[in-house]
Amino acid sequence: MAHNYQRPEVQDIADFVGDSLELARKATQLEVKVIVLCAVHFMAENAAILNPSRTVLLAESSAGCPMADMIDADELREWKKKYPKAAVVCYVNTTAEVKAESDICCTSANAVKVVEDVPNDEILFIPDRNLGHFVATKTKKKIILYPGYCVTHARLTAKHVLAAKEAHPDAKVVVHPECTAEVIALADAVLSTSQMARYIKESPAKKFLIGTEEGIIHRLKKENPGKTFYVVSRAMVCPNMKKTTLEKLATTMETRRNVIVVPEDIRLRAKRALDRMLEIA
């Protein structure tokens, strides 16, 4: 299974390519002994949490997500003490330990729905302050933001978007909710990576400015031969997503290295938060 940001040649040989919600959901439906994730660590961990009877491998062991490392379980426990009435809504870009301390998970595809669905009026949203801020603009609930962010999406500025719009005035601007509020304010649509793919397929527009990691352009071009895509900024490259190469994947599959193991007590608590999300979203 490969994430939408993977290298083109890795996406092309994957059995399934998707966003983090689709990868998590797919992991619950597979009837195979071994699942290999071409993605970053937390995505493979999600598959291992949801599939205890399968062997889950991460194609490249050093592929992590810097945002997921911005909060640990101790820090979250301290925040929970400060906001005892708040439900913890945890973006899936987190470690299993952090998920185990959370009430429910969300992805960029369902964050608003999840926040609306929990009974609490106060939400501690971790760790992405940009996704959390985007959710706050869509709900009446009180959203307490944790100051995490994606280093790749943070590189995209309003100046980049304005310059791209000037160069391509007839293009639709589609961005990921990990972008800053100033970038989101200039977008025509704010979507998860697979939601972008669906939106673009259905849109009558012919040109699109893409405000997310550049790996998705490969899939968009393949699925929409008559449409044109521009990355809003060339800086939109997630180095961790690019660590997986065909050679590394082949070695991982041949040797069955990089097995993802989650301690059972943590797995069960993290699974509860993921299951709650999958039930409602």
Q: Is 241 in the site for ligand SF4 (CB under 6 A)?
A: yes
Q: Are 207 and 174 in contact (CB under 8 A)?
A: no
Q: Does 70 bind ligand SF4 (CB under 6 A)?
A: no
Beta carbon of residue 151, minimum distance to ligand SF4 (angstroms, whole number): 6
Q: Which is nearer to ligand SF4, 21 or 86 (CB)?
A: 21
Amino acid at 144: I
Q: Which is nearer to ligand 13P, 86 or 192 (CB)?
A: 192
Residue 177 near residue 131, CB atoms below 8 Å = yes
Can you give the binding site for ligand 13P, defined by CB under 6 A? Answer: 4, 19-21, 93, 107-109, 150, 176, 178, 192-193
- Residues in 99-158 at the binding interface with ligand SF4, rule: CB under 6 A: 150-153
Q: 21 near 281, Cβ under 8 Å?
A: yes
What DSSP line would sit under 48-80, residue for residue?
Answer: HHH-TTSEEEESSTT---TTGGG--HHHHHHHH
CB of 67 to ligand 13P, least distance (A): 8
- In the structure encoding, which two tokens stand for residue 76, read together? 């979250």
Q: Is 200 in the site for ligand SF4 (CB under 6 A)?
A: no
38 and 23 in contact (C-beta within 8 Å)?
Answer: no
Q: Under the criterion CB under 6 A, does residue 93 sit at the interface with ligand SF4?
A: yes
Taking CB within 5 to 8 Å according to partner kind, which of ligand SF4, ligand 13P, none is near residue 130? none
Distance of CA 236 to the CA centre of its chain: 15
Residues of the shown chain interacting with ligand SF4 in the complex, contacts defined by CB under 6 A: 40, 65-67, 93, 150-153, 178, 213, 238, 240-241
